Amino acid sequence: MDRSEALETILDHYQNPRNYGELPAADVSLQGGNPGCGDIVTLFLKFNGDTLDEISYTGQGCTISQAATSMLTEIARGYTIEQIENLDYTLIEELLSAELVKTRPKCSTLGLDTLKFATQKYRQERALK
């Protein structure tokens, strides 16, 4: 994907977010953010055993943080807890471009970091039950 296609995709996800809204039956929800710049996302996750069955989010902030989270929700469904825990920033570079991730790392990775923390929270809460 060239630079103009990448920017078009990012703008589309920002203007038409996928999986946006609260998920009432979520097993876990978690807010993540960069208060200094105003980027906030709250992820809502529903698992079927160890597999992510449903995912949605709400949030506000810059185009990059919101579009990256929207893109992430499209691909994360069906991943296992282990697969989520093993995700790294290479995925975000593939979605957005390495150049963009380097120039806006906190914005680009907010959704992924929040997903990983929410999955850890789910695992911990499940272990306590």
Q: What is the CATH number of the domain that holds 19?
A: 3.90.1010.10
What is d(CA 24, CA 67) in angstroms, rounded to the nearest whole number? 22
Residue 113 domain flag:
yes
Q: What pLDDT score was predicted for residue 36? A: 78
Residue 67 domain flag:
yes
Q: Which residues contact 85 (CB under 8 A, 6 or more apart)?
A: 116, 119, 120
What is d(CA 108, CA 18) in angstroms, rounded to the nearest whole number? 16
Q: What pLDDT score was predicted for residue 63? A: 95
Residue 90 domain flag:
yes
Residue-range definition of the domain harbouring residue 69 = 3-123
Q: Residues of the chain whose pLDDT is less than 70?
A: 1
Q: What pLDDT score was predicted for residue 2? A: 75
Residue 80 domain flag:
yes
Q: What pLDDT score was predicted for residue 1? A: 66
Residues in the chain: 129
CB 62 within 8 A of CB 109: no
Q: What pLDDT score was predicted for residue 76? A: 97
Domains identified in the chain, total number: 1
Residue 129 domain flag:
no
Residue 36 domain flag:
yes
